[in-house]
């Protein structure tokens, strides 16, 4: 039956069922890219990596970003290496590779995980926390050196409503596509503002305190995996690759929604923007004037409106070229930022400028030089 002949059936992810597929009612509609923005995950294909540009990074303790929008949480430092790599299933360019550099004997409260935080405004239509909560399906491509029953969790922003899920990796070092369908949570508080509305977590190693029963919503706090699942972190040199991550409304995992690099980057820039230097290339990014001998007021235009006023500026090495004053490469702070850009104050260590002189702000000509504007969740 051709799509044009279908009656009384809405062609949406939420209503096309496996039975429709089996009977041919949608005649291949789910085997290729289909229309509409469906994926609630940003950078699910791991193509944007502003911070590291594909280099390997040994993760410290706590939560750290690697490929854009994906963080690795590590209870202790120097246990996991993360890297954007070209190893990927057919139809994809990149994946995120995690490697256990030092095996861990898990304590009861230890947690190691991969996760993405989703802005509340982007999941408001799911109506979680109400009787109208939508069913969602999480799908992804995974490859690991450790087979067995792995796990993850779908979590609310406060991390006190959790749905642990399991999935099976059948063959070592082979790409497999996983699909998990989760009935929407009708309880709890689900934020719909620009704060964290939802987390998706993949368990890499979790102690007994933060493991829960798979397949049901729980009011426990800070769960990271399902009881009885594989603990990757306990195996030295174990590898875990992931790409093609998609979270969508409905009970069917549709084909991954490939977005152009430019569109994916634009979505990432709402949360993080990094300008990186290069040998022989000083990248101008702001122009302004000296307010006094130590402050340069400059106009910075963010590529997109950021989620909030950036509150953290990562390590940077920037230069100001000021009329009749030459270079000053030692800034000790940047302030007065706004989520839509505008005036930014660059505060220098020493007074060498003249009030009223014009100035250009740029990243130094070194691959190790950068300035980062951070509005992450």
What is the 3-state secondary structure of 137-203?
EEEEEEEECCCEEEEEEEEECCCCCEEEEEEEECCCCCCEEEEEEECCCCCCCCCCCCCEEEEEEEE
- List pLDDT tens digits, range 12-56: 444 444 444 444 444 334 444 566 789 999 999 999 999 999 999
- Computed on alpha carbons and rounded to an integer, the radius of gyration of the chain in Å comes to 23
Per CATH, the number for 38-269 is 2.60.120.260
* DSSP assignment of 38-60: ---SSSTT----TTTTT--EE--
Domain spans of the chain, in order of start = 1-32, 38-269, 272-374
pLDDT in tens, 95-144: 999 999 999 999 999 999 999 999 999 999 999 999 999 999 999 999 99
What pLDDT shows up at residue 296?
84
Q: How far apart are CA 170 and CA 148, in angstroms?
A: 6
DSSP letter at 281?
B
pTM, rounded to two decimals: 0.89
Tell me, what's the pLDDT at 316? 55
* pLDDT more than 90, % of the chain: 65
Beta-carbon contacts of residue 313 (< 8 Å; ≥ 6 apart): 334, 371, 372, 373, 374
């Amino acid at each position: 039956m051709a799509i044009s002949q279908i009656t009384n059936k809405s062609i949406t992810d939420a209503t096309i069922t496996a039975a429709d597929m089996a009977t041919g009612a949608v005649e291949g509609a789910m085997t290729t890219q289909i229309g509409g923005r469906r994926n609630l995950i940003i950078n699910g294909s791991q193509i944007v990596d502003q911070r590291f540009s594909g280099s390997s990074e040994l993760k410290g303790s706590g939560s750290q970003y690697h490929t854009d929008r994906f963080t690795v949480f590590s209870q202790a430092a120097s246990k996991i290496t993360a890297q954007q790599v070209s190893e990927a299933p057919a139809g994809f360019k990149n994946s995120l590779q995690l490697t256990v550099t030092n095996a861990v004997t898990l304590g009861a409260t230890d947690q190691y995980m991969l996760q993405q935080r989703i802005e509340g405004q982007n999941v408001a239509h799911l109506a979680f926390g109400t009787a109208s909560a939508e069913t969602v399906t999480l799908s992804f491509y995974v490859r690991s050196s450790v087979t067995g029953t792995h796990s993850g969790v779908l979590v609310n922003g406060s991390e006190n409503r959790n749905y642990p899920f399991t999935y099976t990796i059948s063959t070592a070092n082979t790409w497999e596509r996983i699909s998990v369908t989760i009935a929407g949570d009708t309880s709890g508080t689900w934020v719909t503002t620009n704060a964290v509305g939802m987390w998706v977590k993949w368990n890499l190693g979790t102690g007994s305190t933060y493991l829960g029963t798979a397949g049901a919503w729980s009011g426990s706090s800070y769960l990271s995996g399902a009881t009885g699942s594989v603990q990757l972190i306990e195996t030295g040199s174990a590898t875990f690759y992931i790409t093609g991550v998609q979270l969508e409304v409905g009970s069917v995992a549709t084909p991954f929604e490939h977005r152009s690099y430019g569109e994916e980057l634009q979505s990432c820039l709402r949360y993080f923007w990094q300008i990186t230097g290069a040998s022989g290339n000083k990248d101008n990014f702001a122009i302004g004037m000296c307010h006094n001998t130590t402050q340069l007021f400059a106009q910075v235009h963010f590529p997109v409106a950021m989620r909030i006023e950036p509150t953290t500026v990562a390590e940077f090495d920037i230069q100001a070229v000021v009329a009749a004053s030459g270079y000053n490469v030692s800034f000790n702070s940047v302030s007065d930022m706004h989520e839509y850009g505008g005036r930014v104050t660059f505060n220098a260590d020493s007074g060498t400028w003249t009030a009223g002189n014009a100035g250009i702000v740029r990243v130094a000509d070194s691959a190790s030089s950068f300035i980062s504007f951070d509005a992450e969740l």
